[in-house]
Each structure stands twice: as C-alpha cells, then as structure tokens.
Amino acid sequence: MNSSHGNNMAAHTAAAMLRQAQSVLITTHAKPDGDAFGSVLALSSALRQMGKQVRALLVPPVPENFLTLPGADTLEIVDSHTQFPGTLPGTLPGTLPGTLPGTLPGALPGALPGAAPHGNAGPSPSVQPPASPGGTTSLPGVAPHGNAGPARSSGHLSGAIDLLVILDTCAWSQVEALRPTIAPHLARTLVVDHHLSGDIAAAHRWIDGSSAACAQMTAELIELLDENDESADTPATLWTPTVCLALYMGIATDTGWFHYSNTQPQTLELAAQLLRRGVDHADLFRRLEQTERPEKLALLTRALNSLQLLAANRVAVMVLRPEDFVATGAQTEETERFVDVPQMVQVVEVVVLVTQSPDDLSAGRIRVSLRSKPGPSAVNVADLAAQFGGGGHARAAGAKVKGDLTQVLARVRSVVSQVM
Ligand SMILES: [Mn+2]
C-alpha cells in the first residue's frame, strides 16, 4: 500500500469534517453492493437530518430491490454515458480542517444564488434550495431514478460543495465514471473505506481494514455526529428508521448475514442496537435476498454443470460463457453469489468463477471471482487476484482480465492449482 492511500485520520476527525461541511457530495463504487448503497443512504440521510445539503450519487447498475428501501428516492443515479463536468461549481468555504486552497481552479465564478454562508462551525438550520422550475437536477449527467418517485432533496444543491465523500472504495477503477468530477477536488475529498488497497489520493482518508463493513464505520460517524449535534433536542435524533435500516443492510450484506469471518463483536453489537431501534431483520432479508428471477436459477444450473474440481477436490472452478446468458435470458449481474455455492463441499477450499457475459464480451473482458474458506491453511485469494491484475479481500477477491476465455480459464486453473 502506498502511504498516500492509507489511513491518515481517526473517526472523530472524519466526523468533524462532516460536521463542518454545509453541502456534501457523497458517492461510492460503481455497481454498489448492499454495503456501498446502505452506507451512502445512511450517511446522506443523517447529514440531511442535520440540515445539510446533500447530493448522493450512485453509478449504475443499482439493483432494483435496493431502490425499494425507504429513503432510496433521495439518491441520484448517474448516467454513465453522459460526460461529467470536470469541476464542480462553487467556492471553498475555507473552514475545513487541514490546508485547503481558497478557491477552486476552474470553479464557476461565485456561488450560485441560495448558497449557504459558510464559516459557521455549528449546526445550521435546513437551507431551502432555490426553486428549480421543471427540473430536479442541476448537474449534467445525473437523473433521479424513475421507479421510486422523483428525487426529493437531491439535485437541488445551491452550487457550493464543501466536501466530497467517497464510501466503501479507495480505487479509481471503481469510480471511473465520476473521476473527472472528483479528481480536481482531492484536497476536499474524504474517503471512508474498509478496503486496504486503493489509489485515490484523497487528502482525507479514514481507512480501517479491520472493519467488517463501511456501514459499520458509517455508524461510528453517525454516533459521533449524533453525540455532538447540539441542535438535537432528544438523543438519537440521527438514528431514524431510514438510517437504521440502511446501516443494517450494509453490515448484514457485507458479512453474508453475519457468517463471514469479518463479522466482529462490534458488528453484532451494532446489529443488536439497530434491531432495538426497530429494524425488521426478516423483512429486510426477504427484500434483499429472496427477489431473484427464475432466469438466475437457470444460469446457476449452467454454472454448476460447468463445475470442475481440481487439486484433490480442494479447488472448484466454474465457467459461464456468453451463450449461457443468451440461453437462459439471465443478466450479467445475476451471477452474484454463485461463487459461494461450491463452498458447501467440505474439502473445497477455493472457488473460482470465470464469467464472460455478452456485456463482458463486447467490453473485451473476462471476470474472475475468487473465494476461499477461513482456517489455518486459508488461501489468500487477493494475492491470486493480483496475479490477474485484480484485488480484494483475503477471502473474497476478483479481477477483470483481457483475452481469450479458453486461455484465461487455463491460466486460472494453473495459478490456483499451484498454490494448493
Ligand atoms: Mn464494503
């Protein structure tokens, strides 16, 4: 890990930055998973509760079932086919901790009408954005998603953005669509992440590789913001049903509903706290985990038919080809969790899924997903993924590889068998 990408602050410093910012842009990695989505939803919702102006941007694809969660209609989905402006309008308040320049190069002259005054470190009353006739968004390339009603409070930022927040990733490859928007503003960008590898040289980085989920870190921030929110007349103001459900979504999905090795005492303590605050665990499970289409089951059948056991049955390799997607009508993203299935076999230590959907084919890539079981002889699949130009966690990693499917498959078999 490069020193310019590791942790450089504590939770309370990150919370102080959030507290001082009046308008915040929050995003996460493309194709947000439950942790990314839950973290963005929880933090954006909590900051709005504090009266801040917030835009929360998601880079698609975003699973449809996520969009049924309360508060999801405040999030904006970026149109990745539209070019973003290289800079964000507005001026810097100059009140954030650290050394920030007074004015952004390339910023539009002056703040737009309705911009909140800055320099006030305390909580401010909710700033009403100026009316936007007939439109809900002012940033090109962003549209509110259509199936959960119009975005309520997003897209109305008055023009000045104090702080950019990137959650659950520190890698440019995962926020490529927003790179032109973010890159000029790294001096006022805060990364909150539980992945150790990354290359976004944001000035402010709270990175905790020991945390089970970004949502667990987000909960710590919300706890600190809640404690310090002098505007709160009752305790737990920020712990609304929307915030609690979103945080629970994040920690539950990133821990495989609390069965992965990353599950910590703190994770379960947070889960207990969120249940006490009213989260309906069974309802959330059904919303998130029991909404698949029959086409996915047909694709899983094909994946399992392709399964080969190598290295004395300790390695399971599955492959999905473009024709498997065509024959079943399944979508690229419907391979989610397939790689977990062969782990039900006792002797299987490592599972690899090599996928090339029609989308992958036209993008000229092959996706390699790797999983390993915990234990004294656990294989670090992040190291294996690195051999294919990818990365991830020790137990769950992946890579996108250029080349011919047959050749990549042969190389995967060889690399994985060698470490067993
Ligand atoms: Mn995560």
Instruction: Tell how far the Cα of 102 is from the centroid of ligand 1, in angstroms.
Output: 34
**Residue 132: predicted pLDDT:** 35
Instruction: Tell how far the Cα of 63 is from the centroid of ligand 1, in angstroms.
Output: 16
**pLDDT band per the 50, 70, 90 thresholds, residue 230:** low
Instruction: Tell how far the Cα of 384 is from the centroid of ligand 1, in angstroms.
Output: 20
Q: Is 277:264 a contact under the CB 8 Å cutoff? A: no
Question: Per this entry, what is the length of the chain?
Answer: 420
Instruction: Tell how far the Cα of 251 is from the centroid of ligand 1, in angstroms.
Output: 8
Instruction: Tell how far the Cα of 195 is from the centroid of ligand 1, in angstroms.
Output: 8
Instruction: Tell how far the Cα of 325 is from the centroid of ligand 1, in angstroms.
Output: 27
Instruction: Tell how far the Cα of 39 is from the centroid of ligand 1, in angstroms.
Output: 9
For β-strands 396-401 and 366-372, DSSP reports them as antiparallel
Domain residue spans in the chain? Answer: 11-285, 294-419
| Residues 180, 25: Cα–Cα separation, whole Å | 14
**pLDDT band per the 50, 70, 90 thresholds, residue 4:** low
Cα dist from 162 to 12, 104, 151, whole Å: 18, 11, 21
Instruction: Tell how far the Cα of 131 is from the centroid of ligand 1, in angstroms.
Output: 36
Instruction: Tell how far the Cα of 34 is from the centroid of ligand 1, in angstroms.
Output: 8
Instruction: Tell how far the Cα of 194 is from the centroid of ligand 1, in angstroms.
Output: 7
Instruction: Tell how far the Cα of 205 is from the centroid of ligand 1, in angstroms.
Output: 16
**Residue 171: predicted pLDDT:** 93
Residues 6+ apart with CB under 8 A from 233: none
Average pLDDT over every residue of 381-385: 95
* pLDDT above 80 for 231: no
Average pLDDT over every residue of 269-298: 97
- State pLDDT tens for residues 176-196: 999 999 999 999 999 999 998
360-366, long-range: CB < 8 A, 24+ apart: 360/322, 360/332, 361/322, 364/402, 365/400, 365/401, 365/402, 366/400, 366/401, 366/402, 366/403, 366/405, 366/408
Classify domain 11-285 by CATH number.
Answer: 3.90.1640.10
Instruction: Tell how far the Cα of 129 is from the centroid of ligand 1, in angstroms.
Output: 32
* pLDDT above 70 for 274: yes
- State pLDDT tens for residues 107-117: 333 333 333 33
Instruction: Tell how far the Cα of 341 is from the centroid of ligand 1, in angstroms.
Output: 21
| Residues 242, 104: Cα–Cα separation, whole Å | 34
Nearest to 348 by CA among 401, 388, 386, 304: 304
**Residue 351: predicted pLDDT:** 98
**pLDDT band per the 50, 70, 90 thresholds, residue 129:** very low
Instruction: Tell how far the Cα of 60 is from the centroid of ligand 1, in angstroms.
Output: 16
Q: Beta-carbon neighbour count of residue 173 at 10 Å?
A: 16
Classify domain 294-419 by CATH number.
Answer: 3.10.310.30
Instruction: Tell how far the Cα of 395 is from the centroid of ligand 1, in angstroms.
Output: 13
**pLDDT band per the 50, 70, 90 thresholds, residue 227:** confident
Instruction: Tell how far the Cα of 35 is from the centroid of ligand 1, in angstroms.
Output: 5
Instruction: Tell how far the Cα of 182 is from the centroid of ligand 1, in angstroms.
Output: 20
Q: What is the pTM of this model?
A: 0.73
Average pLDDT over every residue of 274-294: 96
Nearest to 369 by CA among 388, 352, 389: 352
Instruction: Tell how far the Cα of 141 is from the centroid of ligand 1, in angstroms.
Output: 26
Instruction: Tell how far the Cα of 387 is from the centroid of ligand 1, in angstroms.
Output: 22
Residues 6+ apart with CB under 8 A from 364: 402
**pLDDT band per the 50, 70, 90 thresholds, residue 285:** very high
Tokens read off for 211: 């945390």
Instruction: Tell how far the Cα of 405 is from the centroid of ligand 1, in angstroms.
Output: 29
* pLDDT above 60 for 380: yes
**pLDDT band per the 50, 70, 90 thresholds, residue 197:** confident
| Residues 173, 325: Cα–Cα separation, whole Å | 25
- State pLDDT tens for residues 55-80: 999 999 999 999 999 999 999 998 75
Instruction: Tell how far the Cα of 36 is from the centroid of ligand 1, in angstroms.
Output: 6
Type of residue found at 420:
M
Instruction: Tell how far the Cα of 214 is from the centroid of ligand 1, in angstroms.
Output: 5
| Residues 365, 336: Cα–Cα separation, whole Å | 17
Instruction: Tell how far the Cα of 215 is from the centroid of ligand 1, in angstroms.
Output: 7
